[in-house]
A = this chain, B = another copy of it.
Amino acid sequence: MKYCSACGNAVSLRTPEGDHLPRHICDVCGTIHYENPRLIVGCVPEYEGKILLCKRAIEPRRGFWTLPAGFMENGESLQMAAARESMEEALAKVKIEEPVAIVNVLHAHQVHVIFRARLLDPNIGVGPESLEVGLFDESEIPWPEIAFRSVEFALRRYLDDRREGREKLYFHDLTPPPSG
């Protein structure tokens, strides 16, 4: 951020009185511009024991498989966001249930919330952000081609719980992966 979105003048990075962190503050109108973590919301849609996955048509991680998920929008609930993403990415009608995983992605300033879900109709299709969609038995899940660590975490906890006949909520913190 270099300019004030309210008045168009330059901002500088300083700590407001009474605050404890530097913020972008407008040098002219004084507006303080806060930046906060964003929510990514998705779900694990299940149909007759199979899991819905989407092959990404967009970066990052184009060509890798993921659960339907994306940025939560203003005016919707977490559950509405998760259902909308399933519809957009896989033309999938789902019933959102309890959350399985909440992942703090510290370096990306994101919180990922993944719900359990029932796929209500097996007629799914390829949305504009997907190259391919499919229903996978546990043994068919392409683990090395899963797009994101948060998705792998949620999917593994989901399958563990299903095997054990329980439904827990799992938290996880992610920091940058080791390089090389």
A residues lining the B interface (CB < 8 Å):
1-11, 18, 20-21, 24, 33-39, 71-79, 88, 98-99, 102, 104, 106-107, 109, 111, 128, 169, 171, 173
Contacts and interface: CB of A to CB of B under 8 A. Distances in A.
Nearest to A7: B3
A33 B5 contact: yes
A161 to B, nearest CB: 15
Contacts of A99: 169
A36 B73 contact: yes
Interface of chain A, main secondary structure: loop
A36 B35 CA distance: 11
Given A5-B11, A72-B111, A77-B106, 16 more contacts: A3-B3, A3-B4, A3-B6, A5-B5, A5-B24, A5-B33, A8-B9, A20-B88, A35-B74, A36-B38, A36-B72, A37-B74, A39-B39, A75-B109, A78-B111, A78-B171
A143 B92 CA distance: 43
Contact of A6 (B2, B35, B169): B2
A39 to B, nearest CB: 6
